[in-house]
Chains A and B, each alone.
Chain A
C-alpha cells in the first residue's frame, strides 16, 4: 500500500471527541452522568468537564446514573451516561429494572476497556468486552458501535429515538477519541 493510501486509511480509522460532543449537543443532552473510563477520559470526559453547555454530575458508582437519568426524564431533561463497560456490567440490575422493565429513556455511552479498535466488540480479545453486545441483545437494548468518525452520525438519531420511544440505548466506544 502506498503512503497516500495508507494515510487515508489511517484517517478513516480515527475517532474525534469533538465530533461526538457535537452530536451529543445536537441531541439536546443537558446532563452528563459520569464515572471515569480510560477509553473516553481524555477525549470526551475532560473536554465535557470544561464545556459550560453541559452539566456534569460525577457519581460514585455507575448504577446511580440510571436512577438519576430516569428522574431527570420525568421533567423532559435529557442525560447521557458516560461509563466504562465494567460499570455497565456492574449496573445490569438497575438497567434491567429501570431502563428495560420500566421503559425509561436511559442513554449510555460505554467505553470498551482494552478493546482492540480494529475488531468488533464480539471479536474483542477481552472477555468482558465480548459479552457486552450479547447482553444488550438479550435485554433488547438498542446499541451502536462507535469506532470511527463515520459512526458518529448514529448518535443523534438514536438518542432522539430513545426519548421518543422512552427506551434505553447504548453506544459502545471502541477506541480512544482524540
Chain B
C-alpha cells in the first residue's frame, strides 16, 4: 500500500509554478514538504476543494491547477466531478488520496469501501483517469498525468496514517491567501 506522503514527495519533484489546492490531511502532508506561495490550503468547507480548483483553473487558463483531495472530501462534493468534466478545464489535475477513512475526523470509515472514484471520473467525462496503488508505477507515470490536457483525474490508494497534527491557523492564514492571490494574478 502506498503512503500519501511518499506519493506527494514524488509529486513535488514535478511541481513548478502550479497552484496546489490541498485540504485537511492532504494539506498537512503537502505543506510539510516545504513552504510555497502557490499552495492554496484555505478552503473553509469540506469537499469544496475541487470546486475551488475549478474556479482557479478558469480564472487563469494559462496556469495549471492541481487539486489534492481526500476521499471523504470528494464524497461530500461528488457532483463536482460532473461539473468539472462539463466545463473541461485543460489546466486542471484532480488527485484524490483514497485511504477509505475520514482521517481528519477520527479515522472513521467512509460509507462504502468499494467506491471506484477513477471510474466515476471517467464516466463523468474527465479526459483521462488513472488508478494508482503501486508507488513505482505512480513515479513512472506522474509526469504524464501532470502534463497532459485535462481535466485529468487520478486516485492514489494510500494507507491511513497515524493521527496528524492540523495547524489550522497556518493552513487558514489570511496572509497566505493574500500572497497566493498576488502571485496568481501576476
Q: Bound pair: A and B?
A: yes
Is the CB of B54 closer than 8 A to any CB of chain A? yes
B40 to chain A, nearest CB (A): 8
B44 / chain A contacts, CB cutoff of 8 Å: 94, 96-98, 101-102
Roughly how many angstroms separate A63 CA and B48 CA in the complex, as a whole number?
Answer: 8
We find that the number of chain A residues with CB closer than 8 angstroms to chain B is 31
Pair B79/A60 contact, Cβ less than 8 Å: yes
Pair B55/A67 contact, Cβ less than 8 Å: yes
Is the CB of A161 closer than 8 A to any CB of chain B? no
A-B contact pairs, 25 of them (CB 8 A): A31-B58, A55-B58, A57-B83, A57-B86, A59-B79, A59-B83, A60-B79, A60-B83, A64-B79, A68-B55, A70-B52, A70-B55, A71-B53, A71-B59, A72-B55, A74-B56, A74-B181, A75-B59, A75-B184, A76-B59, A93-B45, A94-B45, A96-B44, A98-B48, A102-B174
We find that the number of chain B residues with CB closer than 8 angstroms to chain A is 33
Binding site for A on B (CB under 8 A): 42-45, 47-60, 77-80, 82-83, 86-87, 172, 174, 177, 180-181, 184-185
Q: Which residues of A in the span 12-49 have a Cβ within 8 Å of any Cβ on B? A: 31
Roughly how many angstroms separate A64 CA and B172 CA in the complex, as a whole number?
Answer: 20
Binding site for B on A (CB under 8 A): 31, 55, 57-61, 63-77, 79, 93-94, 96-98, 101-103
Pair B42/A102 contact, Cβ less than 8 Å: yes
A103 / chain B contacts, CB cutoff of 8 Å: 174
Pair A66/B48 contact, Cβ less than 8 Å: yes
Roughly how many angstroms separate A20 CA and B87 CA in the complex, as a whole number?
Answer: 25
Question: Majority SS of interface residues in chain A?
Answer: helix
A67 to chain B, nearest CB (A): 3
B77 / chain A contacts, CB cutoff of 8 Å: 61, 63-64
* Given known A64-B77, A67-B48, A94-B48, contact A77–B58 (CB-CB < 8 A): yes
B60 / chain A contacts, CB cutoff of 8 Å: 75
Roughly how many angstroms separate A68 CA and B49 CA in the complex, as a whole number?
Answer: 9
Q: Across the A-B interface, give the 4 residue pairs with the lowest CB-CB distance, nearest first.
A: A71-B55, A60-B79, A75-B59, A67-B51
Roughly how many angstroms separate A93 CA and B47 CA in the complex, as a whole number?
Answer: 11
B87 to chain A, nearest CB (A): 6
A74 to chain B, nearest CB (A): 5
* Given known A68-B51, A71-B51, contact A58–B56 (CB-CB < 8 A): no
B48 / chain A contacts, CB cutoff of 8 Å: 63-64, 66-67, 94, 98
A72 / chain B contacts, CB cutoff of 8 Å: 55-56, 58-59
